[in-house]
Structure 1
Amino acid sequence: MTKFPTLFAVALAMGLSTIATVTLAETRDTDNQIMVFKTPWCGCCQAWVEAMEKAGYDVETTDMEDLTPIKMQAGVPGELEACHTAMIGGERKYVLEGHVPIEAVEKLMTERPDILGVSTPGMPMGSLGMGDDPAANYAVYAFTGRAGEAPAVFFKAGKQ
């Protein structure tokens, strides 16, 4: 894929002194592009990537042994961390933490709320990449990154 001007650069701290810059390529439909940071051995993360690709998203992955620097740079609250971190969007970037369902991503990109991102904390059974059970019940939380603002339910998956 040809790289165009950088839309989003994430400094990756690897060890004490190595820094790499990862860019999201700009095309006509940047809202359709997702950059995913995951560990190389996580099958459920790969299943989430493949489901997003099947849904029509252009997904670029970067495998890393330690995702801590990415999660910190992205502003993911500790209680909302999951097994992979992704970014989506053109001018207005959003963080997708963990096994966020396609419907929640679509809602995010349609509504474009004033938040930093959304998270499906942990690895809920039945979530996208974890069995993809439409009847699975779990919540997707929105987080703003603003001091004093607690995460709020953004989307409820399954029948709750």
Structure 2
Amino acid sequence: MSSPRFLPLLAAGLIALPALAGAAKPTVEVYKTASCGCCKGWVKHLEANGFTVKAHDVPDPGDYREKFGIPQELGSCHSARVGGYALEGHVPAAEIKRLLASKPKATGLAVPAMPLGSPGMEGPRSDPYDVLLVKKDGKTAVFKRYE
């Protein structure tokens, strides 16, 4: 690509350098128990979708949920942080990317409980579930509905 014949295309933005095309996503810091298999599945889902993940095994992920400002009733089996936002539960990578791109004034996203079919909870069936936007006041709004 350093050939002079590619320079006009590069200057016109028609060819992206690999470093620019694969801009790094922020690291997702995950707080989970050591024995939780579905948490490991969610981490693999994030990595497969281009995120760098730093997983921490902790005795009680609920401590981090509270620290990050997610109401206990929205709890799941793991808590995480990325780009200044909290993530609770099995939030799909696509919604994390949308959150980071749109930058709403919010605490973060939550998928309460552990719905079948959500990332890390794949199986023979999928249940409908909502990804909730958790606002600064603790109220929620549906960010994305999965059927």
TM superposition score normalised by structure 1: 0.72
Call closer, same or farther: CA 1:111–1:62 in 2, change over 3 Å: same
The answer to whether the Cα contact below 8 Å between 2:116 and 2:125 also exists between their aligned partners in 1 is: no
The answer to whether the Cα contact below 8 Å between 1:139 and 1:153 also exists between their aligned partners in 2 is: yes
The answer to whether the Cα contact below 8 Å between 1:127 and 1:133 also exists between their aligned partners in 2 is: no
Q: Distance between the aligned counterparts of 1:81 and 1:65, measured in 2? A: 15
In the other structure, the counterpart of 1:99 is 90
**How many equivalent pairs are there?**
125
Residues 27-75 of structure 1 show CA distances to partners (whole Å, capped at 9, x for unaligned) of x84x431000000110000000011111110000100111232111101
What CA RMSD, in Å, does the superposition of the two structures yield over aligned residues? 1.9
In the other structure, the counterpart of 2:143 is 154
Give the secondary structure class of the aligned counterpart of 2:44: helix
Higher helix share: 2
In the other structure, the counterpart of 1:58 is 52
2:41 to 18, 39, 47: 47
Q: Which runs of 4+ in 1 moved over 4 A?
A: 132-136
Q: How far apart are residue 107 of structure 1 and its match?
A: 1.3
What residue ranges of structure 2 are gaps of 5+ in the alignment? 1-22
Moved more, 133-142 or 45-54: 133-142
In the other structure, the counterpart of 2:80 is 86
TM superposition score normalised by structure 2: 0.78
The 5 Å alignment of 1:63-78 reads: 63-78=57-72
The answer to whether the Cα contact below 8 Å between 1:95 and 1:116 also exists between their aligned partners in 2 is: yes
Larger Rg: 2
What residue ranges of structure 1 are gaps of 5+ in the alignment? 1-27
What amino acid does structure 2 have at the position aligned with 1:137? P
Q: Distance between the aligned counterparts of 1:116 and 1:122, measured in 2? A: 18
